[in-house]
């Protein structure tokens, strides 16, 4: 591609509205979008603000739209990179802290919700395409959790460690990382959580609908 063509492409991206790549609405958990494809801003349903900036060289090398991003809000400070292709999204080098509100918005169909802080160190997280996959780890603090379908007082949950490897993952108590509370399975747009007897005993709010949960995201 010539320098002139690159300059022309950069000019198009600089003025193209951000809504071309980020669509607000309940399906995306985004309240509003502003800016351009080059540099945009989205307000999430939970109040967090996501900002991104186009990475032209990575976009060309990856045959898609690539950008660096940051998400800020109460209890949330995440940074990372994202690459968009038709039908697939890849997050890379995502790190920082995430609030319970952000997690609930990302997984709105989970039958439970927890008030806790989450520390994120994820090298890759893919959505769409032929398969779902993730590599990295998440850590939570002690949490107060409730089942969404049941009117009941919050239940305490211990600090947890979540390890992600390819299309699978594992949930364990941070104090005893060799004890498995649940296993995770990733498929395109779907998360499966299978609780062990130890996990069902320690996290009863999560298993009211059964020890196996399948949810879209």
pLDDT score, position 182: 97
Cα dihedral 107, 113, 118, 123, rounded to 10, equals -20
| Residue 82, CA distances (Å) to 68, 163, 193, 196, 215 in order | 6, 21, 25, 33, 23
Listed residue (150, 119, 140, 117) closest to 202, CA to CA: 140
Short-list 17, 71, 19, 14, CA closest to 38 = 14
Q: Where is 83: in which H helix or E strand?
A: strand 76-85
Residue 12: which H helix or E strand, with range? helix 3-15
Determine the pLDDT at residue 16: 81
What CA–CA distance (Å, rounded) separates 174 from 24? Answer: 36
Per-residue pLDDT tens digits of the chain, which is 217 residues long:
555 555 555 555 567 888 888 888 877 788 899 999 989 999 998 899 999 999 988 888 878 899 999 999 999 999 999 998 887 889 999 999 999 888 888 788 888 889 998 999 999 998 776 556 889 999 999 999 988 877 778 889 999 999 999 899 999 999 999 999 999 998 877 889 999 999 999 999 888 767 888 887 6
pLDDT of residue 131: 58
Query: What distance in Å separates the CA atoms of residue 49 and residue 28, rounded to the nearest whole number?
Result: 14
Beta partners for residue 195, in sequence order: 182
Residue 14 to residue 195: CA distance in whole angstroms: 48
pLDDT, residue 59, reads 87
């Amino acid at each position: 591609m010539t320098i002139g063509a690159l300059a022309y492409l950069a000019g198009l991206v600089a003025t193209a509205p951000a809504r071309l790549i980020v669509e607000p609405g309940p399906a995306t958990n985004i309240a509003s979008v502003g800016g351009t494809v080059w540099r945009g801003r989205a307000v999430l349903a939970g109040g967090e603000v996501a900002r991104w900036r186009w990475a032209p060289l990575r976009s060309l090398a990856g045959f898609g739209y690539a950008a660096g991003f940051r998400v800020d809000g109460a209890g949330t400070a995440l940074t990372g990179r994202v690459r968009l292709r038709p039908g697939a999204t890849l997050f890379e080098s995502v790190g920082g802290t995430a609030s319970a509100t952000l997690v609930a918005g990302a997984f709105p169909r989970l039958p439970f919700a927890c008030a806790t802080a989450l520390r994120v160190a994820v090298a890759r997280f893919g959505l769409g395409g032929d398969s779902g996959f993730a590599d990295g780890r998440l850590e939570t603090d002690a949490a107060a959790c409730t089942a969404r379908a049941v009117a009941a007082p919050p239940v305490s949950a211990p600090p947890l460690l979540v390890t992600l490897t390819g299309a699978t993952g594992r949930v364990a108590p941070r104090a005893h990382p060799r004890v498995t509370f649940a296993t995770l399975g990733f498929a395109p747009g779907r998360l499966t959580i299978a609780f062990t007897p130890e996990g069902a005993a320690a996290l009863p709010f999560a298993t009211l609908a059964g020890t196996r949960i399948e949810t879209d995201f």
